[in-house]
Structure 1
Amino acid sequence: MANNTTNEVRATAKYVRVAPRKARAVVGLIRNLPVAKALEVLQFNTRAVSEDISKVLRSAVANAVNNNGMRADDLYVKLAYVDEGPTLKRIRPRAKGSASRINKRMSHITIVVAPRKEA
């Protein structure tokens, strides 16, 4: 039933209000892990972005199971990366009438899952 030739399934969360640098630190922890282990790592991680990444991972697994007929037990995190989204530029008043820029950064989080090849 899987019509994808490479058997990869992806999910993306766009415009997540977290700096890409912070998200990349967490995404690096789950790369190449089985899905169950990756969800466990995210559950016990103390960073706030872990919740958003966990949502994206669950979405990718749901896409694989519902749209491509794959088994959730066989999946692993093949690719996980964070791209930079648009930046909201804000101003903070400083001394002597000057101002400093505050950059509120956004991320696009993408996770690709694939079935593990048993060899």
Structure 2
Amino acid sequence: MEAKAKLRYVRLSPRKTRLVVDMVRGKKVQEALNILRFSPQKAASIVYQLVGSAVANAEQKGVADVDRLFIESISVDQGPVLKRFMPRAQGRATRIRKPTSHITVVLNEK
């Protein structure tokens, strides 16, 4: 039985988040949570919570054995970019781009 969790508009760069997501794709849930727990990246803690949420969704759906769950698919899509301006010398301004991401996790039983 399939369980999903989505996190949208999270203030992380999709490029940096994909590096974290690639470490856990296809792994068992317990192994993935251990990898994410000890990973120093900012995205790791957010993906850790999202995988935990997907496990809770699986329990709510009545999955027979949570220990048999694995990450069937996990993807990071680009969200809208927040554009800000930073004052610079001589009256100029430069643009600051603050990217956002949409993360989707799908768990399934092996």
TM-score by length of 2: 0.95
Q: Which amino acid aligns with 1:98?
A: R
Aligned-residue offset at 1:51 = 0.8
Q: Which amino acid aligns with 1:60?
A: A
Q: State, as a whole percentage, how many aligned pairs show the same letter.
A: 41
Alpha-carbon deviations, 1:51-104, whole Å to 9, x = none? 110111011111111114332100000101111111110001222222111000
Output aligned runs, 1:1-119, within 5 Å. Answer: 7-116=1-110
Count of residues in correspondence between the two structures: 110
5+ long unaligned stretches in structure 2:
none
- 1:77, 1:112 within 8 Å by CA — same for their partners in 2? yes
Counterpart Cα distance in 1 of 2:93 and 2:107: 45
5+ long unaligned stretches in structure 1:
1-6
- 1:64, 1:70 within 8 Å by CA — same for their partners in 2? no
The runs of 4+ residues in structure 1 deviating greater than 6 Å are none
Counterpart Cα distance in 2 of 1:20 and 1:35: 22
